[in-house]
Chains A and B, each alone.
Chain A
Amino acid sequence: MAFKKKKNRMTQAGEIAMPADKLTAILEWPGNHRWIMAVLAVLLGAAFMLFILPVQEASANPAVSAGLQILKKVASVIGLGAIGSAAGGAVGGEVADFVKELLANGCNAALGSIMYNTLNFTGSAMGADGQMMGIFSNFDALVGPDTRLYEDCIKVIHGVLINSIGMAVMCVCLVVGLGKVLTHAGQTEAGVNLWQLFMPFIMFIAGSLLISNSLVLMQLPYDIMKQFTDAVGTKIALGDGFNQTAPADSSFITADNIDNFSTGTLFFTLFILFFVWLGSFIVAGFANTILLFRGMQIYAYTAIAPIAIGFVVADSTRNMATGFAKRYLAVVLSFFIMYLILIMASYALVGIVNFIAAGSNWGSGDELLGLQGNCLTLLATCAACGFALYKSGAWAKEVVGIG
């Protein structure tokens, strides 16, 4: 009989076959004896603590230590599982609640960060108290608040270029202009009139004065545009849009309403919010990048202004100087256009942020579709404003006719 039983357990492939009811019984045994499993887990943990840990500390072999670390973790998992099983699902319930709370906290953090990013969109440009930063600051602080960049660097480079390249370019252009006039005088019997002869020298005088005072001249359009922005800001009361801050309490999903949402909904909402957060973060960073970029562009144009202005002397090269002036005016005008875009952005974004923070429009029931939709609208508004800031330079060029 015993022989037959042994024979039945062997298959043709030589593997040990186990009756299904036997296997089920073995698997069910830990479930039916949870407390025994818990005691075994505790004993296992105690054994590890008492016998293996000292060995690990004594072992100089890193491979042995690593192996023991893994064994400790396996023992912990087995122990936790056994204790959870022994507690009849009570621990499992706690874990589920913990995960749900974790997801809710993640959603709250993501929403708070999204609101901060979107408000930072205008906040970093305009400052918390309406104080202008970046390109909206004074001319000596277009790229950060440290004015040494302008005083010790841009001004010095500009001064060096005046005396070295700027005046040299102007003299070359004067020779070119005079050569053209005198060549023309030799081609006709009538010669050249005094006005034609004066013109290169008049432009030489004008160019020289322009180059010597180019620093003031480059600053002048910016200061005029800044007067416009200040006037507009005073007129529309910047506090309506720019001085908004993120809601102080960003706990949107609280202990009071967390039971309304399932774990899956919170997980999916967090998934959506992650991408919205990522988008708003990128766009907010991009907006600040554009503002700094324009400031750097103005500084670069200011520094090289003497070279470009030197070309104003000769007729043939005057287009280069006027083209430079137009492009510089376009950059300064883009500053005003960006100001208008940020006004629009602040009103649009703050409106949606407050709409979300109100919490009454998240959608009915478990699905939070309203919240997800509002966040996507927020992302779209951010992206539109970022793209508009990017295109502000092209719009300004269209205004001055070089687009």
Chain B
Amino acid sequence: MRKLIAKLKAVRFTQEQAYALVPLLFIGSLGIILAVNLVVYLVVGE
């Protein structure tokens, strides 16, 4: 986990690049939320 965080910290973006990434990250996070809720629904049934 520490190595992963270190690798993520090593990748740097300028402000413009960051602005471009925000929508992608937002959609990605919505996808993760949807996936987790789907798994919970399939496992728990609620």
Which residues does A use to contact B, with CB under 8 Å? 178, 181-182, 185-186, 190-198, 201-202, 204-205, 208-209, 212-213
Contacts and interface: CB of A to CB of B under 8 A. Distances in A.
Contacts of A185: 13-15, 18
A192 B13 contact: yes
A201 B26 contact: yes
B3 interface: no
B5 A197 contact: no
B29 A204 contact: yes
Contacts of A186: 15
B28 to A, nearest CB: 7
B8 A195 contact: yes
Contacts of A208: 33
B11 interface: yes
Given A190-B12, A191-B13, A193-B11, A181 B33 contact: no
B23 to A, nearest CB: 11
A204 B28 CA distance: 11
B15 A182 contact: yes
A226 to B, nearest CB: 21
27 contacts: A178-B22, A181-B18, A182-B15, A182-B19, A182-B22, A185-B14, A191-B13, A191-B14, A191-B17, A192-B13, A192-B18, A193-B8, A193-B10, A193-B12, A193-B13, A194-B8, A197-B18, A197-B21, A197-B22, A201-B26, A202-B29, A205-B29, A205-B32, A205-B33, A205-B36, A208-B33, A209-B37
B6 to A, nearest CB: 9
A26 B33 CA distance: 106
Contacts of A204: 29
B38 interface: no
A191 B18 contact: yes
B18 A182 contact: yes
Contact of B28 (A181, A191, A201): A201
A178 to B, nearest CB: 6
A196 B12 CA distance: 9
A197 B37 contact: no
A85 B28 CA distance: 104
Interface residues of B, number: 23
B15 A191 contact: yes
Contact of B12 (A181, A192, A201, A212): A192
B36 A209 contact: yes
Contacts of B15: 182, 185-186, 191-192
B38 to A, nearest CB: 12
A197 B33 contact: no
Nearest to B6: A195
Contacts of A196: 9
Nearest to A209: B36
B12 to A, nearest CB: 5
Contacts of B21: 197
A311 to B, nearest CB: 18
A85 B32 CA distance: 100
A185 B40 CA distance: 36
A198 B18 contact: no
Nearest to A204: B29
B26 A197 contact: no
B15 to A, nearest CB: 4
B22 A191 contact: no
A191 B12 contact: yes
Contacts of A198: 8, 25
A186 B17 CA distance: 11
Given A185-B18, A195-B8, 13 more contacts: A182-B15, A182-B19, A185-B14, A190-B12, A192-B15, A193-B13, A195-B5, A197-B13, A197-B21, A198-B25, A201-B28, A201-B29, A209-B37
